[in-house]
A and B are shown apart, each in its own frame.
Chain A
């Protein structure tokens, strides 16, 4: 990690750890333990389904909350606390700082998610005493969740560059919900009679970050395989969108007078 973004990223990760962010894992563990014990009473067929559904949904929600709440403070906190002043007096470009903050939170989320996945695996083994080959789709679903979290982080970071944590939370959450329902938004627009509205509906669909692409929880719960082509496409989509958002953040942030 000898690059400048890498240095900033490691420090961001260290800050999250020292802020006891990883303690959320305790709640997750307790929840999975409770669920496993409860569900062990029911027949084998359903219990796997419940554990996977519950575990993956929790990983997604916990991760989302973390990505948003830490993300909206990534830049804002450094400006408010003025730690950014000393940092920018070093030979650091502003975009390197942004990429570093993004990388640090993404690293935190990855570590958090990985530990949760292990917990999920343990619960699954406890409940069904075996792993099936089809369980590999669980790992794909987790990977998709990580892609989703990366995109949410980038959006939160973008807003963090110029708006208060509360507003940034609203904007980021709003974009997340819109991105889940973007297909429906487009379809409603397509049902109108005016071609202008239809075109606008299609344009909005492509502009929005389409978070529904990343939902593979149901497929993983039923042990369905997810095509490799979709994995590549989602990775490329997430990566492109993240770079776009970070570039926008950099464009906004690089010209800003810091108070």
Chain B
């Protein structure tokens, strides 16, 4: 009896293995085919959050998770495409948060990537604010959402009084960290500042749960660091000209003139260079990218 069942299993394996390989191969081809179709025509059949909530028959938070995953996948697969506008990002996040208004990570993601200018985001700070405000009304005790609102007012919309107010609100909520009070004070007093910006992006970097957000925060931190360095180097450049009669061209020259203890390098480790007008610049070979228009005090 076992001999017969062994030969049956063997025969099945002989048939099943090539078939399974064929199936895997075909599936990858089908996926490639449908991906090109999908990129030409963006489609989200149901855009109405409330309608979808009714249709989901009580499984809303499961469906919210699925839409959230799709939103992350959508962003991740398109970031880097030339001229990408991420048109479906808002509807996807809209549906996600309608289905599950407590999905915090979706609000944070939307706050960052809806407002981020092209090519990293949808360049729609207004939609980002709408999304986060909706989050605030659904989760009145959560300090993080007010903090995100503060971030949006401060970083993208440059409305410093509103930003300070939002940070103050955040500090009053349950578990609101001391940082929020400090941010409120700093922004109210100085408006745009390096320390406030760095605090914001550091917090985002440390609490980021998905790779896109972390990478984005790191880029901003590097840009901030570079901007500060460039401001400082401009002064050194002027000093150099006063002493030697001409502007420096590379950072090495400043080092060799003895005023610095090491060669000034950017956050990527590449030495800075100087333009013909004496202003410090990033080496074009560097991977660091400055935010445009640059945030922080003007040069």
**CB nearest to A205 among chain B residues:** B27
Q: Flag whether B261 is at the interface (Cβ < 8 A).
A: no
Stretch at the interface among B15-23, B194-202, B245-253: B15-23
Stretch at the interface among B67-75, B137-145, B159-167: B67-75
Stretch at the interface among B2-10, B86-94, B176-184, B284-292: B2-10
Q: Flag whether B210 is at the interface (Cβ < 8 A).
A: yes
Question: Binary interface profile of A, 228-256, with partner B (CB < 8 Å = 1, else 0)?
Answer: 01100110110011011001101100110
Question: Binary interface profile of B, 77-107, with partner A (CB < 8 Å = 1, else 0)?
Answer: 0000000000000000000000000000000
Bound-state Cα–Cα, A191 to B33, Å: 24
Check if B8 sits within 8 Å of A187, measured CB to CB.
no
Q: Flag whether B173 is at the interface (Cβ < 8 A).
A: no
Check if A237 sits within 8 Å of B26, measured CB to CB.
yes
Q: Flag whether B30 is at the interface (Cβ < 8 A).
A: yes
User: Which chain A residues in 198-219 approach chain B with CB under 8 Å?
Assistant: 205-206, 210, 213, 218
Q: How far is the CB of B104 from chain A (nearest CB, A)?
A: 16
Q: A181-B66, A187-B70 are in contact. Are A236 and B22 (CB under 8 A)?
A: yes
B24: chain A residues at CB < 8 Å are 206
Tell me which of B8, B33, B41 contacts A230 (CB under 8 A). Answer: B33
Bound-state Cα–Cα, A127 to B34, Å: 31
Bound-state Cα–Cα, A244 to B5, Å: 18
Q: Flag whether A80 is at the interface (Cβ < 8 A).
A: no
Q: Flag whether B239 is at the interface (Cβ < 8 A).
A: no
Counted as pairs of residues, one from A and one from B, with CB atoms less than 8 Å apart, the total is: 72
Question: Which of the four size classes fits the interface of chain A?
Answer: 20 to 34
Q: Flag whether B277 is at the interface (Cβ < 8 A).
A: no
Q: How far is the CB of A170 from chain B (nearest CB, A)?
A: 17
B interface secondary structure, majority: helix
Q: Flag whether A166 is at the interface (Cβ < 8 A).
A: no
User: Which chain A residues in 93-150 approach chain B with CB under 8 Å?
Assistant: none
Tell me which of B5, B27, B29, B66 contacts A184 (CB under 8 A). Answer: B66
Bound-state Cα–Cα, A250 to B9, Å: 10
**CB nearest to A229 among chain B residues:** B33
Bound-state Cα–Cα, A229 to B23, Å: 16
Check if A206 sits within 8 Å of B27, measured CB to CB.
yes
Bound-state Cα–Cα, A244 to B33, Å: 24
Check if B26 sits within 8 Å of A251, measured CB to CB.
no
Q: How far is the CB of A243 from chain B (nearest CB, A)?
A: 6
B73: chain A residues at CB < 8 Å are 187
Bound-state Cα–Cα, A230 to B27, Å: 11
User: Which chain B residues in 41-71 approach chain A with CB under 8 Å?
Assistant: 41, 43, 45, 65-66, 69-70
In the assembled complex, 6 residue pairs joining A and B whose CB atoms fall closer than 8 Å, in A order, are A187-B72, A224-B41, A229-B33, A241-B19, A247-B12, A254-B8
A residues at B contact (CB < 8 Å):
181, 184, 187-188, 191, 205-206, 210, 213, 218, 224, 227, 229-230, 233-234, 236-237, 240-241, 243-244, 247-248, 250-251, 254-255
